[in-house]
Amino acid sequence: MPTLEERVTRLEADMEEQKRLRAGQDGDLSDISQKLRAQDQLLKAPAQTQSEHTATLAQHT
């Protein structure tokens, strides 16, 4: 059976690993959010352009 000191040492190592994994996860989520924002802008751009073109055509008729 491991000693208390060995158990604490293993627990500390596990906590450091969890900390590293959480930091990586935060970075991944940030990248995903940034990509989703860019895709959202790309999807909205044609609607904005069409709206502007419709307004211009309405002025000419």
Full-model pTM: 0.60
Q: What are the mean pLDDT values of the chain's consecutive 10-residue runs (61 residues total)? A: 96 97 96 97 94 92 77
At residue 61, the pLDDT reads 77
Return the pLDDT at 24. Answer: 96
- Taking alpha carbons only, the member of 45, 20, 42, 46 closest to residue 34 is 42
Q: Which residue has the tokens 């906590």?
A: 15
Distance CA 13, CA 8 (A): 9
User: By the 8 A CB rule, do 35 and 27 touch?
Assistant: no
- Tell me the two tokens of residue 38: 């860019």
C-alpha torsion angle, residues 12, 16, 21, 23 (rounded to 10):
140
